[in-house]
């Protein structure tokens, strides 16, 4: 009887020691995860709050050149250079100088460490991170705006500056994605499905959030490995397309920033909407597969009535969450969009002639 009692106590002690060991291992693992997720220290951070004139960082993610440089030339004209900075990610080796751009504002603003970017690949979000890292080197940069080569501003610089600086939040289009099946269950050890988000890649971040994205080394490797675009349909491959379409489909730039910020429990610090307008239409290929594409505004469609319709939008509805996001800045109603895409050269030229960048042309008071 004593042997049984002794054996029971020994087993109980062993179980107790094992529980303590497992708790210790879990604690160490949790501390490591917290270090990676929440450690805001970065190469540019000296731990002090910036004192001085805050600047907007305009980050252009382009294929090669900036076809709408003539419009941005007018936008930046007569603006205090201390209020903004410009960064361009183009194809490797492309240089912005007097031979490649009509605007002196873009001279030498290209990254020298740019990479080859493929649509729907992790290289897209790596290029965004490169832009953020470059912009973070300047402590004056307090807001970070990601733009494409077909983006246009809808207001003058002063209005956009006051709008973004007047809010303490980042503007990130972010919503639950439960229908499209882009979440890969193999991510679950790092990214739980409840934190999976979708949204527009065109973001405007405050500095603290920019650092989270730029220096993340936990979530990005998972996206690089497990979030990949399914190969497009190829008529020449016939039945082989059926096999290809069974592959997991994920578009990194539509999920990465949104999911990363959700993982860091930062959604309470966001305006969960984008400030860049895009009109999407659904089209079908000759293999009956429907896909979404952004509308391009040309000279005819970039008319004053259409621009006014975009400017007058004051809310965005998110069907998957049954949520309506009313556009506000410091509790004051404001137009939702500061920029729009995609614009062709002639569409941008018509916008320019409408005087959108003169303070007298603003249809709303400053936020």
Residue 35 has pLDDT above 60, yes or no: no
Residue 314 has pLDDT above 50, yes or no: yes
CA 308 from chain center: how many Å? 26
Pairing mode of beta strands 339-341, 332-333: unpaired
7: helix, strand or coil? helix
Q: pLDDT class for 246, splitting at 50, 70, 90? A: low
**Which residues are CB-neighbours of 249 under 8 A, at least 6 positions away?**
180, 181, 182, 229, 230
Q: pLDDT class for 182, splitting at 50, 70, 90? A: confident
List, as one string, the DSSP characters of 179-212.
SS----GGGTTTS-GGG-EE--S--EEEHHHHHH
Using CA atoms, how far apart are residues 213 and 125, in angstroms rounded to an integer? 10
**Which residues are CB-neighbours of 322 under 8 A, at least 6 positions away?**
none
> For residue 332, which phi and psi values (nearest 5 degrees)?
-105, 130
pLDDT tens-digit map of 79-122? 999 999 999 999 999 999 999 999 999 999 999 999 999 988 99
Question: Which whole number is the average pLDDT over 303-318?
Answer: 95
Task: Specify the higher pLDDT residue, 269 or 234.
Answer: 269
pLDDT of amino acid 83: 97
pLDDT of amino acid 181: 76
pLDDT tens-digit map of 259-303? 999 999 999 999 999 999 999 886 555 444 456 688 999 999 999
pLDDT of amino acid 359: 43
pLDDT of amino acid 239: 64
State pTM to two decimals: 0.83
Q: Which long-range contacts (CB under 8 A, 24 or more apart) does 243-250 make?
A: 248/182, 248/184, 249/180, 249/181, 249/182, 250/182, 250/183, 250/184, 250/226
Q: Which DSSP symbol is given to 64?
A: S
Contact 142, 317 (CB under 8 A): no
Residue 58 has pLDDT above 90, yes or no: yes
Task: Specify the higher pLDDT residue, 343 or 18.
Answer: 343
User: Pick from 272, 247, 246: which is nearest to 257 by CA?
Assistant: 272
pLDDT of amino acid 177: 79
Percent of the chain with pLDDT over 70: 77
Using CA atoms, how far apart are residues 6 and 309, in angstroms rounded to an integer? 82
Using CA atoms, how far apart are residues 221 and 203, in angstroms rounded to an integer? 21
Q: Which DSSP symbol is given to 352?
A: H
Task: Centre a 10 Å sphere on the Cβ of residue 88 and count the other Cβ atoms it contains.
Answer: 24
> For residue 67, which phi and psi values (nearest 5 degrees)?
-65, -20
Lowest pLDDT segment from 3-17, 29-43, 195-209, 223-237: 29-43
Residue 8 has pLDDT above 70, yes or no: no
pLDDT of amino acid 280: 85
pLDDT of amino acid 218: 97
Task: Give the chain's mean pLDDT.
Answer: 85
User: Pick from 237, 255, 242, 356: which is nearest to 307 by CA?
Assistant: 356
**Which residues are CB-neighbours of 161 under 8 A, at least 6 positions away?**
56, 83, 84
Q: pLDDT class for 321, splitting at 50, 70, 90? A: confident
Residue 75 has pLDDT above 80, yes or no: yes
């Amino acid at each position: 009887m004593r042997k049984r009692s002794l054996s029971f106590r020994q087993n109980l002690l062993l179980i107790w020691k094992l529980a303590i060991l497992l708790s210790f291992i879990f604690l160490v693992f949790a501390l490591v995860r917290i270090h990676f997720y929440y450690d805001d220290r970065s190469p540019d951070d000296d731990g002090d709050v910036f004192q001085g004139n805050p600047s907007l960082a305009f980050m252009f993610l382009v294929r090669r050149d900036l076809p709408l440089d003539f419009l941005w030339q007018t936008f930046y004209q007569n603006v205090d250079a201390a209020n903004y900075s410009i960064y361009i990610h183009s194809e490797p080796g492309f240089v912005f100088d007097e031979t490649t751009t009509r605007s002196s504002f873009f001279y030498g603003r290209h990254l020298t460490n740019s990479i080859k970017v493929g649509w729907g690949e992790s290289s897209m979000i790596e290029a965004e991170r490169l832009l953020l890292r470059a912009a973070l080197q300047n402590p004056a940069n307090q807001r970070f705006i990601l733009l494409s080569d077909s983006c246009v501003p809808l207001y003058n610089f002063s209005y956009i500056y006051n709008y973004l600086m007047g809010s303490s939040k980042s503007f990130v289009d972010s919503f639950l994605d439960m229908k499209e099946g882009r979440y890969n269950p193999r991510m679950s050890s790092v990214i739980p499905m409840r934190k999976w988000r979708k949204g527009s890649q065109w973001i405007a971040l405050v500095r603290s959030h920019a650092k989270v994205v730029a220096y993340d080394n936990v979530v990005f490797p998972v996206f690089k490995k497990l979030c990949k675009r399914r190969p497009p349909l190829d008529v020449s491959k016939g039945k082989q397309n059926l096999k290809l379409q069974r592959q997991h489909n994920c578009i990194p730039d539509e999920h990465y920033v949104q999911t990363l910020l959700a993982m860091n429990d930062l959604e309470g610090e966001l305006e969960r909407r984008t400030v860049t307008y895009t009109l999407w239409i659904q089209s079908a290929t000759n293999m009956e597969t429907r896909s979404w594409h952004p509308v391009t505004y040309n000279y005819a469609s970039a008319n004053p009535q259409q621009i006014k319709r975009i400017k007058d939008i004051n809310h965005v509805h998110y069907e998957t969450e049954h949520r309506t996001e009313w556009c506000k800045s410091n509790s004051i109603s404001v137009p939702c969009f500061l920029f729009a895409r995609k614009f062709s050269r002639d569409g941008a030229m018509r916008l320019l002639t409408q005087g959108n960048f003169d303070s007298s042309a603003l249809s709303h008071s400053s936020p």
